Amino acid sequence: MSDNDIFGQAIARLDEALEFADIDREAVARLRHPKQVLEVSIPVRMDNGDLQIFTGYRVRHDDTRGPTKGGIRYHPGVTLSEVKALAFWMTLKCAVAGIPYGGGKGGVTVNPKELSRLELERLTRGFTSQIADFIGPETDIPAPDVYTNAMVMGWLMDEYSKIHRKRSPGVVTGKPIPLGGSQGREDATGRGAYYCIKSLEAAEGWRPGDMTVAVQGFGNAGQHVARLLQEDGYKIVAVSDSKGGIHNCEGFDIPSLCTAKNETRVLRAVYCHGSVCELVDADVISNEELLELDVDILIPAALENQITGRNAGQIKAPYVFEVANGPTTSDADQILSQKGTTVVPDVLCNAGGVTVSYFEWVQNRGGFYWTVDEVHERLREIMVREFAEVWNFAKSRGTSPRTAAYALALGRIGDAVESQGTARYFAGN
Ligand code: GLU
């Protein structure tokens, strides 16, 4: 699929859900267009003295239900169409989670692995100053996404606060805890997905020890969901990062893999006792091979468009939990549904991150901070409740969980739009 089509393909999915959604056509027409799009160029003085110009975007898709909310990604593949699609998914995700936000997203086309830490800070401060009139605690609130982290969010908050001459922790979430971040934000995306898996475990009567899992993407979300599942007895038999993957039928010790990866930046099959790590048996596999493994649960936790019309026929896992945004294309959806694969969609499965972002924003506004147990419990309550809503809707209406999640989200957005009046209301005057 051409990159330019990502937004077009994303909104095409609205049509599949409309049949089941209680929403006025006018409201849907609005969702087909992002509300505001900003493209900026960011000049950065590199360590060697050269000036490099980077391109960045911030998109506010829809703010009917509240300020727009969504991460900022640093990746060489970032395009405007991708950022628009990601902002659209955020609109749906916030509605599925029932939190009072619309959808936004940002991105800079850059390979952050090629930048020094100082260059990364200059890039972040430069990007922040270019978008400083577009974002704000009541309008549009960024957060981490692919290849950005708490420190990047801390720089953003600091730069924004300097520009506006007042400390503004609520302008961004996913900040370091000493700068106003929330307990429990770091593992929130993985934990939210874990609560979804636990809900399905209860519904289907799985025994964790019998379940094998493959995780594509060993970044923040992938590492945490794998760790939580392993603690419960699930066998994580394969993981991968952008360079490739490892597979062992006996399962890996996830904390060991995390220690090694976070220290050396390389994914290696190891078992660590304290700080001493030794190699364990494993097959080296590609990212494509990982997706096609004969496992019970497949967790794409990397980038969009991984399960496509080309490889969907070869996916053997009966359950797919989308921790990444947009990992499955619509043609792949059709093939998976014919095979009877259950796909728990991104807009539900990875909503834990933005849900705890909402908690962080609430805490920043109140100036009163919660314990990690309070954060976990409130997150669990929302994920379990919304999983059940989506699941029951899908079962009662005979739709896929994705169509159910979209229909529920559209109903909630539709309620907000209609409460301001639509043609139906005004024609009645
Ligand atoms: N980037 C994350 C997502 O795609 C989190 C967004 C947020 O916390 O605002 O859901």
pLDDT tens per residue, range 42-56: 999 999 999 999 999
What is the CATH classification number for the domain harbouring 54?
A: 3.40.50.10860
Total-model pTM:
0.96
Summarize pLDDT for 220-235 with one digit per residue, the tens: 999 999 999 999 999 9
- pLDDT for res 2: 47
Ligand 1 centre and the CA of 203: distance in Å? 27
Q: Tell whether 169 is covered by a domain.
A: yes
Q: Tell whether 140 is covered by a domain.
A: yes
- Is the same domain home to 250 and 288? yes
- Percentage of residues in the chain having pLDDT higher than 70: 99
Of 349, 365, 384, which residue is a domain's last?
349
Say whether pLDDT at 427 is over 90: no
- pLDDT for res 4: 57
- Is the same domain home to 202 and 100? no
Which atom of ligand 1 approaches the CA of 93 most closely?
A: 10
Summarize pLDDT for 90-102 with one digit per residue, the tens: 999 999 999 999 9
- Domains in the chain, number: 2
- pLDDT for res 3: 46
Which atom of ligand 1 approaches the CA of 146 most closely?
A: 1
- Is the same domain home to 169 and 194? no
Of 126, 150, 178, which residue is a domain's last?
178
* Among protein residues, the one whose CA lies closest to atom 8 of ligand 1: 354
Q: Tell whether 117 is covered by a domain.
A: yes
| Pocket perturbation via mutation, ligand 1, pick of 89, 191, 357, 364 by most ligand atoms within 8 A of CB | 357
- Is the same domain home to 157 and 215? no
Say whether pLDDT at 377 is over 50: yes
- pLDDT for res 425: 78
Average pLDDT over residues 272-296: 94
| Pocket perturbation via mutation, ligand 1, pick of 60, 145, 146 by most ligand atoms within 8 A of CB | 145
Q: CA-to-CA distance for 202 and 156, rounded, in angstroms?
A: 41
Q: CA-to-CA distance for 289 and 394, rounded, in angstroms?
A: 30
- Is the same domain home to 88 and 138? yes
As a whole number, the mean pLDDT across the chain is: 96
- Is the same domain home to 227 and 320? yes
- Is the same domain home to 205 and 174? no
| Dihedral, CA of residue 24, residue 29, residue 32 and residue 33, to nearest 10 | -130
Phi, psi dihedrals of residue 309, rounded to the nearest 5°: -55, -25
Q: Tell whether 285 is covered by a domain.
A: yes
User: 69, 84, 93, 105: which is the annotated catalytic residue?
Assistant: 105
- Is the same domain home to 197 and 328? yes
Which atom of ligand 1 approaches the CA of 357 most closely?
A: 8
Ligand 1 centre and the CA of 275: distance in Å? 32
Q: 3-class DSSP state for residue 336?
A: helix
Average pLDDT over residues 365-389: 98
- Residues forming a β-bridge with 136: 140
- pLDDT for res 272: 92
Ligand 1 centre and the CA of 238: distance in Å? 25
Average pLDDT over residues 249-257: 97
Q: Tell whether 344 is covered by a domain.
A: yes
Decide: 333 and 345 in contact? Cβ < 8 Å: no
Ligand 1 centre and the CA of 207: distance in Å? 31
Which atom of ligand 1 approaches the CA of 89 most closely?
A: 4
Summarize pLDDT for 162-209 with one digit per residue, the tens: 999 999 999 999 999 999 999 999 999 999 999 999 999 999 999 999
Q: 3-class DSSP state for residue 272?
A: strand
- Is the same domain home to 161 and 212? no
Q: Tell whether 248 is covered by a domain.
A: yes
- Catalytic residue list contains 93: no
The strand pair at 319-321 and 342-344 is best described as parallel
Ligand 1 centre and the CA of 297: distance in Å? 23
Q: Which residues form the pocket of ligand 1, taking CB atoms under 6 Å from any ligand atom? A: 69-71, 143, 145, 173-174, 325, 350, 353-354, 357
Average pLDDT over residues 71-82: 98
Summarize pLDDT for 328-375 with one digit per residue, the tens: 999 999 999 999 999 999 999 999 999 999 999 999 999 999 999 999
* Among protein residues, the one whose CA lies closest to atom 7 of ligand 1: 354
- Is the same domain home to 102 and 243? no
- Is the same domain home to 219 and 158? no
Q: Tell whether 211 is covered by a domain.
A: yes
Average pLDDT over residues 258-284: 92
What is the CATH classification number for the domain harbouring 297?
A: 3.40.50.720
Q: CA-to-CA distance for 93 and 408, rounded, in angstroms?
A: 10
Sequence-ordered list of residues with C-beta below 8 angstroms from that of 137, at least 6 positions apart, any chain = 67, 168, 170, 171, 361, 364, 365
Query: Residue 152: which domain range?
Result: 31-178
- pLDDT for res 26: 83
Average pLDDT over residues 72-76: 98
Phi, psi dihedrals of residue 70, rounded to the nearest 5°: 165, 160
> In this structure, what token pair is assigned to residue 131?
């978008």
- pLDDT for res 429: 60
Q: Tell whether 280 is covered by a domain.
A: yes
- Is the same domain home to 149 and 243? no
